[in-house]
């Protein structure tokens, strides 16, 4: 472990039973995390999280060599990976014969590894691409891996109670922002920032460009943010309704009792993705 990582383990966890368990993986721009979940017993056995990585994929590659828990066989594996090559297509307009029509909007238009996932809760299809090296890294280690876009957990569990709402998932040095308007996804983007001044710049730019009426829009936050810190105070200056996003789960999360409940919202929410 290093000063930027944490590993929480259920003392009764038996690695020999891993073939009955689920592995959830999140690979961000600057973070890497995973969780081991027991669906039958509705129990979270382990959570590993590392912040401030220079490269999330490289950190994942490094952990694969040294982390014994990642070498275990699992019943199922779900991996959410950050990629700028992602588009959302309304299900009513999606044509599986026209994938190239959608991938022309990718940042990297020459990717060979293209994935299509239908959202279970929202009326759209995810189409995303990842590098051949990352694809090989995941599919070689786990034949049964399901690949998902980075923010799939949040999107599948986003509350739809307000006509307009924003969800922000923070790491130490980046944030993923989702904006819903008319209860439909209107915007999704990841930003890296260095300090509160840069965060303020991005935040005000987003509000301005999207025309977000902050006083009438609810805000849910999760990840590495605390009430009263610089990030929270910045957001509270603009939003009247701000709260932590904690997705209800039937799983026993006793190993997280000493941690803020919203820290691992987006990671644990992957359990509910298809």
Grouping H, G, I as helix, E, B as strand and the rest as coil, residue 264 is coil
pLDDT at 218 over 80: yes
Pairing of strands 145-149, 76-81: parallel
Mean pLDDT value of segment 133-145: 92
Query: What is the predicted pLDDT for the residue at 117?
Result: 87
Q: Quickly state the pLDDT bin for 1 (edges 50, 70, 90).
A: low
CATH of the domain at 56: 3.30.420.250
| E strand or H helix that includes residue 58 | helix 56-66
Give yes or no: residues 186 and 110 share one domain. no
Give yes or no: residues 150 and 222 share one domain. no
Our count of domains for the chain comes to 2
Grouping H, G, I as helix, E, B as strand and the rest as coil, residue 46 is strand
Any idea which of 15-19, 59-63, 121-125, 176-180 has the lowest mean pLDDT? 121-125
Give yes or no: residues 16 and 115 share one domain. yes
Q: 93-114: per-residue pLDDT in tens?
A: 999 999 999 999 999 888 889 9
CATH of the domain at 217: 3.30.420.260
Q: What is the rounded CA–CA span in Å between residue 1 and residue 40? A: 30
Containing domain of residue 112, as a range?
1-158+251-274
Query: What is the predicted pLDDT for the residue at 274?
Result: 67
Question: Cα-flanking dihedrals φ and ψ of residue 38, to 5°?
Answer: -110, 105
Query: What is the predicted pLDDT for the residue at 159?
Result: 67
Query: What is the predicted pLDDT for the residue at 247?
Result: 81
Question: Cα-flanking dihedrals φ and ψ of residue 26, to 5°?
Answer: -130, 120
Give yes or no: residues 68 and 2 share one domain. yes
pLDDT at 138 over 90: yes
DSSP 6-39: EEEE-TT--GGGGGGSEEEEEE-SS-EEEEEEET
Q: 149-194: per-residue pLDDT in tens?
A: 999 998 887 766 666 799 999 999 999 999 998 778 899 999 999 9
Give yes or no: residues 110 and 7 share one domain. yes
Give yes or no: residues 268 and 238 share one domain. no
Helix then strand then coil, % of the chain, to nearest 5: 30, 35, 40
Give yes or no: residues 132 and 259 share one domain. yes
pLDDT at 133 over 70: yes
Mean pLDDT value of segment 232-260: 92
Q: How many residues does the chain have?
A: 274
Report which of 168, 159, 150, 10 is spatially closest to residue 88, judged by C-alpha positions. Answer: 150
Query: What is the predicted pLDDT for the residue at 174?
Result: 96
H helix count then E strand count, the chain: 7, 14
What's the pTM?
A: 0.93
Give yes or no: residues 54 and 129 share one domain. yes
């Amino acid at each position: 472990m290093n000063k930027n990582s944490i590993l929480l383990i259920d003392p009764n966890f038996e690695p020999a039973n891993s073939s009955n368990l689920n592995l959830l993986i999140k690979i961000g721009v600057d973070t890497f995390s995973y969780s081991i979940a027991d669906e039958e017993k509705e129990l979270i056995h382990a959570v590993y999280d590392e912040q401030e990585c220079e490269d999330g994929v490289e950190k994942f590659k490094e952990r694969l060599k040294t982390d014994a828990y990642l070498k275990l066989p699992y019943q199922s594996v779900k991996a959410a990976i950050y990629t700028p090559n992602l588009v959302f297509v309304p299900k009513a307009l999606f044509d599986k014969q026209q994938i190239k029509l959608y991938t022309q909007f990718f940042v990297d238009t020459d990717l060979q590894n293209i994935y299509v996932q239908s959202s279970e809760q929202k009326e759209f299809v995810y189409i995303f691409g990842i590098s051949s090296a990352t694809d090989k890294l995941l599919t070689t280690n786990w034949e049964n891996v399901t690949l998902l876009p980075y923010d799939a957990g949040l999107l599948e569990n986003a509350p739809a109670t307000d006509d307009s709402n924003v969800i922000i998932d923070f790491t130490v040095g980046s944030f993923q922002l989702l904006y819903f308007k008319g209860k439909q996804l209107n915007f999704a983007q990841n930003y890296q920032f260095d300090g509160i001044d840069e965060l303020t710049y991005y935040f005000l730019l987003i509000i301005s460009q999207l025309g977000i009426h902050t006083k009438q829009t609810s805000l849910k936050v999760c990840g590495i943010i605390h009430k009263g810190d610089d990030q929270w105070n910045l957001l509270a200056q603009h939003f009247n309704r701000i709260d932590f996003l904690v997705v209800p789960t039937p799983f026993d999360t006793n190993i997280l009792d000493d941690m803020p409940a919203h820290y691992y919202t987006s990671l644990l929410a992957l359990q509910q993705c298809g």
